[in-house]
Structure 1
Amino acid sequence: MNKKDIQHIILELGIPTSIKGFTLLTDAISLYGEADSIMDLYAKLACKCGTTPSRVERNIRHAINAAFSCGNTELLRHLFKSSTGKQPNNAHFISRIYLSLLSQELQEQSVAELESCTFVYICSPCRGNVAENLNRAQMYSIYALSKGYTPIAPHLMYRDLLNNDKPKERERALAIGLHLLSICSEMWVFGGTISKGMQGEINFATKHNIKIAYKNVIF
């Protein structure tokens, strides 16, 4: 990911270059895809900068505070429109900027590049906070694209066609999901909670020897 693009959006958000968190935030977004967790990311940055993970966390938080205190309100609202109105934590902020920039890069990929990708099934919650869960499913899908896979996420693909609150339509949606799962090489499970629908998908993948990976990524 181009650091100039990262710095451009950070500046647009209203974070001044004069604070320590500016450079750390730039590096955090750049390295986000290589880290196993937010703590791993802090450790990588601390090692790179000769400081401690706690100082990295604090300086990044300070930079984010600056954006939400006197930054670009319109851009912040656009990027974090699914949030509850509260300032996002470091992990959410970093991942959202990373995925926003990554999405722009992926749009420039050729059809041939995308067609060569392996299908991966995105297994994540839908019910409950539907808007937030669908937003996360979108981010999980972008994450899969960034890793060279073609994501299959039925709850995104059919959200406007089938009503999850109507039993017959939900049953049909689940059946379509399992059919799509059958053509995937892998299933990636996201989220801390396994819903009934997700468990059914996991059981199907297990029965049909589809590789299952539990992804501990924070968005």
Structure 2
Amino acid sequence: MLQNEIVDILLRAGIPANTKGFTYIHDALELMDKDSYYFSGKVCVLYAKIAKQNGATPGQVERAIRYAFEGALTRGDLESVEQYLDPINTRNSNELKVLFLRWRQETHPMGDSSCDAMSVCRAQIYNEILDEMNALTFKIQQAVSNNGAENIAMQGQ
């Protein structure tokens, strides 16, 4: 079911079906749907995972995806392409995210899945940053405290 949805959306977006990029974009959308880690900007890791699955290099995957997007943007039906892709910011990472989000909006109205995934990602990133800041604050407080104790000890001598 999921594979048919992805194939359908890629064809409607104007991605040429006769390119390796079609298969790689299909794999990318499937991975992004299964694990929000890939959606949160880890495109290089996504390329590596797809390359490993298909016996290619990450560079070949990136190039094939770029070529497929270029094919859709230059030779596809403009109205259909603009419905699923961003004709202005054509970087692979942006196009993959836009395509993923528009597919999820179409298949799950109100963005249930993608919004939840994005909220989870943002919350996770926020919590990681907060933890790091708390750890740094603690270290600074310890250093100030230790330095203050040393100064008091030196004054007493």
TM-score (norm. length: structure 1): 0.48
Paired amino acid for 1:59: A
Q: More helix by proportion, 1 or 2?
A: 2
Q: 1:32: which partner in 2?
A: 32
Q: 1:68 to 1:108 in 2, by over 3 A?
A: closer
Per-residue CA deviations over 1:95-144 (Å, capped at 9, x if unaligned) read 111111222343389xxxx7xxxxxxxxxxxxxxxxxxxxxxxxxxx634
Cα–Cα, structure 1 residues 24 and 16, in superposed 2: closer, same or farther, change >3 Å?
same
Q: Which runs of 5+ in 1 are unaligned?
A: 115-141, 150-185, 190-210, 215-219
Partner of 1:27, secondary structure, is helix
Bigger Cα displacement from structure 2, 48-57 vs 30-39 = 30-39
Q: How many residues align?
A: 124
C-alpha deviation, 1:148, in angstroms: 8.3
Please give the residue correspondences for 1:118-197 in structure 2 after superposition, counting only pairs within 5 Å.
143-146=114-117, 187=123
Q: Please, which of 127, 136, 142 is the counterpart of residue 212 of structure 1?
A: 127
Asked if 1:71 is matched to 2:73, the reply is no
Cα distance in 2 for residues equivalent to 1:148 and 1:92: 18
Larger radius of gyration: 2
CA RMSD of aligned residues (A): 3.1
Answer 1 or 2: higher relative contact order, Cα 8 Å, separation at least 6: 2
Q: Residue 114 of structure 2 aligns to which amino acid in structure 1?
A: Y
Matched, 1:102 2:107: no
Which amino acid letter does the alignment assign opposite residue 74 of structure 2? S
Q: Find the residue that maps to 1:32 and give its secondary structure.
A: helix
CA distance in 2 between counterparts of 1:108 and 1:144 reads 8
Percent of matched pairs sharing the same residue? 27
In the alignment, the residues of structure 1 paired with residue 83 and residue 118 of structure 2 have an alpha-carbon distance, to the nearest angstrom, of 25
Q: Distance in 2 between matches of 1:48 and 1:41?
A: 11
TM-score by length of 2: 0.65
Q: Which amino acid aligns with 1:89?
A: R
Checking the alignment, whether the CA contact within 8 Å between 1:13 and 1:75 is kept in structure 2 is: yes
Structure 2 residues without counterparts, runs of 5 or longer = 130-157
